[in-house]
Amino acid sequence: MLDSIYVGMSGLISFSQGLSNISNNVANLNTPGYKRTQLEFLDLYYRYSYSGSSDQQASPYSQGSGVKTGASLMNFSDGEFRQTGNDLDLAVKGNGFFVLRKDGETLYTRAGQFEVDDNGFLAAKDDGARVAGFSGGGLKDISVSGKRSNPAQATRNVAFVNTLSTSSTTFSVPDISVFDSLGVEHKLTLNMTNDSATTPGRWTLTVLENATTLTTGEVRYSGSGAPLAGFDTVSFSYSPGGGAATNTVTLDFTGSTYFSSSSSTLSVGTRDGYAAGYLTKTTVDDSGNVVLHYSNGQTVKDSRLALAWFSNLSALQAQGSNRYVVFGDTEKLVGNPNDNGLGKIQSGGIELSNVDLAQEFSELIIVQRGYQASSQVISAANEMIQQLGEIRGRK
């Protein structure tokens, strides 16, 4: 009967540890990237006795020694994605952990709450651990330092679209924006004159800045209304002054047409060149590219995030603050999102914990009943010992 007390005590200890595991899961219900744990229960060693003439043929009587707790097994299934509106809040959909580095230690996490720190590095908000990128087969810190501005680019190509009407004698396209090498915007005017009476499908043109003529030229169209090769572009050397460099500007009419219509609608379709800009925000696309957005409308893809995955997830050991380290034997894959089976990035939100509250409450009832039953076993064994003592006392 003393054995029964010790067996019951092992149940009390194990179920109390199970309750601690459940309480930790419930407490981390809203912790970003948290992975629920399941506590193992293991039976203790057995003692056997046999009846009969031969131990090999006898039916054994086994007596267990109770229960103990084993490992806490983590469930690494994806948690729910929740939008936060923060461009640098990231989540991994599928396989992968973000790679963080701090004080010479490499850590792994599913909680992607990042920011650009004062030194220009992409880092975790809570402790400043730097987020690693993957390039050229190795890890490197991701930094936007030195990339907070985007230099101006002079306009080199202006492409026109839509139609020149056969009924039009002249047509003008005003306020054509072009940029010089210093990023200064200039307004040009394109004046066109229908010269089809001299040469079928021919339009002469003049390009002006204010009252200054920059160049003259011509474009020609075939009978089908398409521009003729060799007569579909006009290039000129543009010297805006003010310290800006001279560059060649090409007017491209390959996207325009010439046919009978009520009026001409020729206009600028696309144009390169832009003013200098400053960094306005930093985002990450689903392939892990860090995208820099500038005030001049330009975007630049910079570094690419690293993700890590492990053949044996049980080798990961939780360190708190949503971080893991490699503690056991496992093969590690490090790469970029969307490559080699690694997951993709979801930006503008976080991955919530994968704790199922209904399941935890069910586990809680089982643990509570198990604890209650173990305490009843101890009480019953104690009463039996007391009864045995009373019998011996009466003798």
Q: Is there a single domain that holds both residue 179 and residue 255?
A: yes
pLDDT tens-digit map of 167-178: 999 999 999 999
pLDDT at 385: 83
Cα angle vertex 111, ends 109, 116, to 5°?
A: 100
Q: Is there a single domain that holds both residue 241 and residue 168?
A: yes
390 belongs to a structural domain: yes
- Considering only residues 44 and 215, tell me which one the structure prediction assigns the higher pLDDT: 215
Q: Is there a single domain that holds both residue 359 and residue 341?
A: no
Using CA atoms, how far residue 63 sits from 3, 66, 101, 253, 383, in Å, is 10, 9, 52, 94, 21
pLDDT tens-digit map of 170-215: 999 999 999 999 999 999 999 999 999 999 999 999 999 999 999 9
Q: Is there a single domain that holds both residue 233 and residue 191?
A: yes
Q: Is there a single domain that holds both residue 323 and residue 359?
A: no
pLDDT at 4: 82
Q: What is the mean pLDDT of residues 318-322?
A: 91
DSSP string, 177-208: EEE-TT--EEEEEEEEEE-TTTSTTEEEEEEE
Q: Is there a single domain that holds both residue 384 and residue 345?
A: no
280 belongs to a structural domain: no
Q: Is there a single domain that holds both residue 123 and residue 163?
A: no
Q: Is there a single domain that holds both residue 263 and residue 307?
A: no
150 belongs to a structural domain: no
Structural domain that includes position 230: 157-271
Weakest-pLDDT range from 80-84, 146-150, 284-288, 379-383: 379-383
The total number of structural domains in the chain stands at 3
Q: Among the three residues 211, 236, 271, which one is the final residue of a domain in this structure?
A: 271
- Considering only residues 64 and 332, tell me which one the structure prediction assigns the higher pLDDT: 332
pLDDT tens-digit map of 88-129: 999 999 999 999 999 999 999 999 999 999 999 999 999 999
347 belongs to a structural domain: yes
pLDDT band at 44 (very low <50, low <70, confident <90, very high): confident
Q: Is there a single domain that holds both residue 165 and residue 262?
A: yes
278 belongs to a structural domain: no
Tell me the torsion sign for CA atoms 269, 273, 278, 281: positive
Q: For residue 25, which phi and psi values (nearest 5 degrees)?
A: -60, -45
Q: What's the rounded Cα separation, in Å, for the pair 130 and 140?
A: 9
Query: Whole-prediction pTM value?
Result: 0.79
Q: Identify whether the C-beta of residue 331 lies closer than 8 Å to the C-beta of residue 314.
A: no
Q: Is there a single domain that holds both residue 100 and residue 176?
A: no
Average pLDDT, whole number, for the chain?
92
Write out the H or E segment, with its range, that includes residue 292.
strand 289-294
Nearest to 353 by CA among 26, 129, 89: 26
Write out the H or E segment, with its range, that includes residue 304.
strand 299-304
226 belongs to a structural domain: yes
- Domain containing residue 263: CATH number: 2.60.98.20
248 belongs to a structural domain: yes
Q: Is there a single domain that holds both residue 24 and residue 59?
A: yes
Cα angle vertex 275, ends 303, 156, to 5°?
A: 95
pLDDT at 363: 92
329 belongs to a structural domain: yes
pLDDT band at 388 (very low <50, low <70, confident <90, very high): confident
pLDDT at 286: 95
**The pLDDT of residue 69 is above 90:** no
- C-alpha dihedral, 56 to 57 to 62 to 68, nearest 10°: 50
Within the chain, where are the H helices? 2-27, 357-394
Q: Is there a single domain that holds both residue 227 and residue 170?
A: yes
Using CA atoms, how far residue 336 sits from 95, 136, 143, 384, in Å, is 11, 11, 17, 66
